[in-house]
Amino acid sequence: MTLLEKIETRNAAVGIIGLGYVGLPLVFEFCRAQFSVNGFDIDPTKIEKLERGESYIKHLPSSLVAEASVRFKATTDFAQLASMDCIIICVPTPLNKYREPDLSYVMNTTKAIANNLRKGQLIVLESTTYPGTTDVDMRAILETTGLKAGEDFYLAFSPEREDPNNPQFSTRTIPKVVGGYTPQCLKVAKALYDTVVDRTVPVSSTRAAEAAKLVENIYRAVNIALVNELKMCFDRMDIDIWEVIDAAKTKPFGFHAFYPGPGLGGHCIPIDPFYLTWKAREYEFPTKFIELAGEINTAMPYYVVEKTVFALNEAGKSINGARVLILGLAYKKDIDDIRESPSLKIIELLQVRKAIVDYNDPYIPETHKMRKYDMNMESVPLTPETVAGYDCVIIVTDHTSYDPRFILEHAQLIVDTRNLIKIKNDNGKKVVRA
């Protein structure tokens, strides 16, 4: 039986490497499509929780784990890759301390696959990266086995497009871009994804697929940087950027609303554009828009802290020794993901200035050690007495559960980075936009 026939009859064994915000939703979709799925991860804690039927991601309830349990097995044993027909890689692609691509997770995973590679397998990378990663870097490692991509095994790239807790789009309903190393590689990869998503979008190569994902995130990063810059400009002119955007978006054509904020978060927008910037240097091409957008967006937490220092000063208080409460640690509303969250940088900057900082986040009860931050903090309760006890409350994430009236009533001073507190007149200057 060919691999295409195995896919069509749901007899192909699917292996998904990396059981995080991208990999775990894929597991559930393939199980729903009646495939047998093995999930691979180097974190034994995740494996133990899944074996107990527990989910560790807020917007993916444990009921999904139970639903998938008949067809799903989680493991740290990468030797089992040899028995997989289709292998999908969903591992992190962060930046190193020099803001250069760190492909160690992808390359180490590829080496593990190479150690177990056999004829007829399909290997798909979903992790965001620069063009050439799949057909050059990964292929070189896989072909050290003596097997040839496009002849002995299939190789493809299909970028993840997850948007955690988006009520309108899910893994199944988001169109899936697919690029193959050869036409036959594309055919097999497309056939696999056709079983779990409503629409696949085939492109001519793995490089085109890699570039498409970068363009999506660069588009957002540049436009967010634009409105962030306009926010700071209009602030000096005493113009409300939120009112301006609301007016501008009434135009039914030629304008798409982007909104300012305290900085970028998540694993995509703050990181992915720099993968292209780095690769472009190889071609002696300066990516000016990307780099400028990066500078503006990276500077936003500093702007928020400056506004906080100024607001406290206006209230007759010093940042040194001030008690500050951060509302929201997650990088966006109603999720439990703190990767690259601007809240972390804001906390760090405030602590450097000798402020006493706490946070509240209904989805993140405590912090843990991260690549760039080592914070040992617990979420404080949000009570009238708690809020009133802080010199300043900074709204960084506008979780739905945050009641603007409650915050406005009990906080002494509010620095609002998300336009959560919508009041027209604030003669007492209790609310400061940042």
214 membership: H or E segment, kind and range: helix 206-236
Q: Look up residue 76 and give its two tokens.
A: 């740290």
Rounded CA separation 267/21 (Å):
10
Q: Look up residue 193 and give its two tokens.
A: 């994804």
Cα distances (Å, whole numbers) of residue 326 to 241, 355, 360, 364, 422:
22, 12, 6, 13, 19
Going by DSSP bridges, is the β-strand pair 13-17/36-40 parallel, antiparallel, or unpaired?
parallel
- For 368, the 3-state DSSP assignment is coil
Rounded CA separation 282/261 (Å):
33
- Measured over the CA atoms of residue 187, residue 189, residue 192 and residue 196, the dihedral's sign is negative
CA 158 centroid distance within chain: 16
Q: Look up residue 311 and give its two tokens.
A: 């607001």
CB 394 within 8 A of CB 327: yes
Segments in 89-146 forming alpha helices (H): 104-114, 139-142
Q: Look up residue 225 and give its two tokens.
A: 């940087």
| Furthest C-alpha separation in the chain | 77
β-pair partners for 38: 15, 73
Rounded CA separation 349/301 (Å):
8
Positions annotated as catalytic residues are 268
Rounded CA separation 134/131 (Å):
8
Return all residues near 8 (Cβ < 8 A) that are at least 6 apart. 191
The label of the residue with tokens 């300066």 reads 286
- Measured over the CA atoms of residue 339, residue 340, residue 343 and residue 348, the dihedral's sign is positive
87 membership: H or E segment, kind and range: strand 86-89
CB 275 within 8 A of CB 281: no
